[in-house]
Structure 1
Amino acid sequence: MSTPTFSPGLAGVTAGVTAISEVDADRNKLTYRGYDVHDLVEHTKFDEVAHLMLLGKLPTKAELDAFIARTAAQREVSPAVYELFRKFPADANCMDVLRAGVAIEALFDPDAHKDTPEAHLQKSLRLYAKIPTLVVNGYRILKGMEPVKPSPTLPHSENFWHMLAGGAPNEFFVTTVDATQILYAEHGFNASTFASRVTVSTLSDIYSGTVSAIGTLKGNLHGGANEAAMEMLLEIGEATKADAYIRDALAKKKKIMGFGHREYKHGDERAKIVKTFVVELSKRLNEPKWLEISNIVEGVMLKEKNLYPNLDFPVASSYYMMKLPVELYTPIFVMSRITGWCAHMMEQLANNRIIRPHNEYNGPKGLTVPPISARK
Structure 2
Amino acid sequence: MTSEHDISCYSPGLAGIPVAESAVSTIDGQQGVLAYRGIDIEELAEKSSYEETSFLLIYGRLPTAEELAKFDEDLRHHRRIKFRIRDMMKCFPESAHPMDALQACVAVLGMYYPIEKGLNQQLGEDEIREVYLRLIAKLPTIVAAHARMRKGDDPIQPRDDLSHAANFLYMLTGEEPSPLAERIMDVALIVHAEHTMNASTFSTMVVASSQADPYSSISAAVGSLSGALHGGANEDVLHMLDEIGSLENAEKYLQDKLANKKKIAGLGHRIYKTKDPRATLLQKLYGELAKEVGEDPTYEIARYIEQFSKDTLGKKGVCPNVDFYSGIVYRKLGIETDLFTPIFAVSRVAGWLAHWREQLADGRIYRPMQIYTGKTSQSYIPMEDRT
TM-score norm. by structure 1 comes to 0.96
Shift of 1:117: 4.0
Matched ranges for 1:178-217 at <5 A:
178-217=186-225
Shift of 1:256: 1.8
Range moving further from structure 2, 284-293 or 304-313? 284-293
Q: Choose which of 311, 328, 335 in structure 1 pairs with 2:322.
A: 311
Stretch of structure 1 that moved more, 220-229 or 278-287: 278-287
Gaps spanning 5+ residues in structure 2: where?
none
Aligned to 1:50, which of 49, 54, 75?
A: 54
Q: Tell me the amino acid that sits aligned with residue 18 of structure 1.
A: S
User: Quick check: 193-202 or 257-266, which moved more?
Assistant: 257-266
> For the Cα contact (< 8 Å) 1:73–1:153, is it kept in 2?
no
Residues 233-282 of structure 1 show CA distances to partners (whole Å, capped at 9, x for unaligned) of: 12222222222222223333332221111111122111111111122323
The structural deviation recorded for 1:340 is: 0.4
Q: Could you report, residue by residue, the CA deviation over 1:74-119 in whole angstroms, capped at 9, with x for unpaired residues? A: 1111111111111111111000001111112211115475631422
**Whole-Å separation in 2 of the counterparts to 1:14 and 1:81:** 38
Say if 1:48 and 1:64, in contact at 8 Å, map to a contact too.
yes
The 8 Å contact of residues 239 and 289 in structure 1, kept in 2 or not, is answered as no
SS at match of 2:27: strand
1:297 lines up with 2:305 in the alignment: yes
Residue in 2 aligned with 1:63? 67
Which moved further from structure 2: 222-231 or 357-366? 357-366
Relative distance call for 1:215 and 1:323 in structure 2 (3 A) is: same
How far the C-alpha of 1:375 sits from its partner, in A, is: 2.2
Distance 1:80 1:254 in 2: 45
Distance in 2 separating the partners of 1:112 and 1:267: 44
Please name the residue that 1:85 is paired with. Answer: 89
Return the match for 1:149 from 154, 157, 161: 157
| Equivalent residues of 1:54, 1:121 under 8 A apart | no
For 2:312 and 2:137, how far apart are their aligned partners in 1? 44
Residue 313 of structure 1 deviates from its aligned partner by 0.8
TM-score after normalising by structure 2: 0.93
Q: Cα deviations across residues 281-318 of structure 1 (Å, max 9, x unaligned)?
A: 23332315222010111122333333101001110111
Q: Which residue of 2 aligns with 1:351?
A: 362
- From 341, 348, 358, give the equivalent of 1:330: 341
Quote the residue 2:102 is aligned against.
98
Q: For each residue in 1:4-49, what CA deviation from the matched residue of structure 2 results, as whole angstroms up to 9, or x when unmatched? A: 5001111111111001111122322111111111110011111110
Distance 2:187 2:101 in 1: 25
Contact 2:207 2:220 in 1 (8 A): yes
- Residue 277 of structure 1 is matched in structure 2 by 285
Q: How many residue pairs align between the two structures? A: 376
Cα distance 1:41–1:112, how it changes in 2: closer, same or farther (>3 A)?
Answer: farther
126-135 or 276-285, larger mean C-alpha shift: 276-285
Segment drifting more, 294-303 vs 191-200: 294-303
CA distance in structure 2 between the partners assigned to 1:171 and 1:15 by the alignment: 41
Name the amino acid aligned to 1:370: I
Q: Does 1:159 align with 2:167?
A: yes
> How big is each residue's C-alpha offset from its partner over 1:178-217, in whole Å with a ceiling of 9 and x where there is no partner?
1111111011110000001000100111100011100000
> Secondary structure in 1 aligned to 2:298?
helix
Change (3 A) 1:217 1:157: same
Distance 2:217 2:290 in 1: 38
Structure 2 residue matching 1:23: 3-state secondary structure: strand
What amino acid is aligned across from residue 64 of structure 1 in structure 2? L
**Equivalents in 2 of 1:86, 1:166: separation in Å?**
19
8 Å contact kept, 1:247–1:300: no
CA distance in 2, matches of 1:347, 1:66: 23
> What SS does the corresponding residue of 2:26 show, helix, strand or coil?
strand
For the residues of structure 2 that align with 1:111 and 1:366, how far apart are their CA atoms?
45
Contact 1:279 1:291 in 2 (8 A): no
Contact 2:135 2:349 in 1 (8 A): yes
The secondary structure found in structure 2 opposite 1:247 is helix
Aligned to 1:371: 382
CA distance in 1 between counterparts of 2:234 and 2:124 reads 34
Question: For residue 31 of structure 2, what is the aligned residue in structure 1?
Answer: 27
